[in-house]
């Protein structure tokens, strides 16, 4: 991921990572690691809960709490009534509320469960995997 991002001609405003950021047992998931190493804003977006306690949903959002300190470390976001939630967490240099807003906006653009950049990346990876067989 680092090599790929370093090849870009322009530094992205924010990077979405298929993985966790702060909502990780070590409080430093792949989204945080990538953001820190490259010093760019990053957001972790995961399809499953790795660690933490999910509060009750209020509308489309529930918060993920550290099991020990009860600190908010992420959010569960229902992108559609029929889909399982996705999990959003701060990676680096971004507030959780901003991360949630960005992910919500990009989910609307994808018309699916995942934010558009991650959906496109997943689709490309799936096609490449099929071609490699």
pLDDT, residue 117, reads 97
Q: What is the CATH number of domain 2-124?
A: 3.30.2170.10
Q: What Cα–Cα distance (Å) separates residue 101 from each residue in 10, 27, 31, 93, 97?
A: 23, 22, 17, 15, 6
Mean pLDDT by 10 residues, the chain (133 residues): 95 97 97 98 98 98 98 97 97 98 97 96 95 93
pLDDT, residue 37, reads 97
pLDDT, residue 121, reads 95
Sorted by where each begins, the domain ranges of the chain are 2-124
pLDDT, residue 39, reads 97
Give the span between the Cα atoms of 75 and 110, in whole angstroms: 20
pLDDT, residue 45, reads 98
Whole-structure pTM value? 0.96
Give the span between the Cα atoms of 67 and 128, in whole angstroms: 39
Please count the CA atoms within 13 angstroms of the CA of 53 that sit on its side-chain side: 9
pLDDT, residue 31, reads 98
29, 19 in Cβ contact below 8 A? yes
pLDDT, residue 67, reads 97
Q: What Cα–Cα distance (Å) separates residue 96 from each residue in 59, 64, 120?
A: 17, 11, 23
């Amino acid at each position: 991921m680092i090599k790929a991002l370093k090849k870009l001609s322009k530094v992205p405003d924010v990077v979405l990572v298929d993985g966790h950021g702060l909502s990780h047992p070590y409080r430093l998931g792949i989204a945080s690691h990538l953001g820190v190493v490259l010093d760019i804003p990053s957001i972790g977006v995961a399809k499953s809960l790795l660690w933490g306690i999910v509060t009750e949903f209020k509308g489309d959002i529930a918060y993920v709490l550290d099991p020990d300190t009860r600190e908010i470390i992420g959010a569960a976001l229902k992108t559609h009534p029929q889909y399982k939630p996705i999990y959003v967490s701060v990676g680096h240099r971004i507030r959780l509320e901003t991360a949630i807003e960005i992910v919500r906006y990009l989910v609307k653009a994808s018309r699916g469960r995942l934010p558009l950049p991650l959906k496109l990346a997943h689709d490309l990876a799936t096609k490449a995997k099929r071609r490699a067989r």
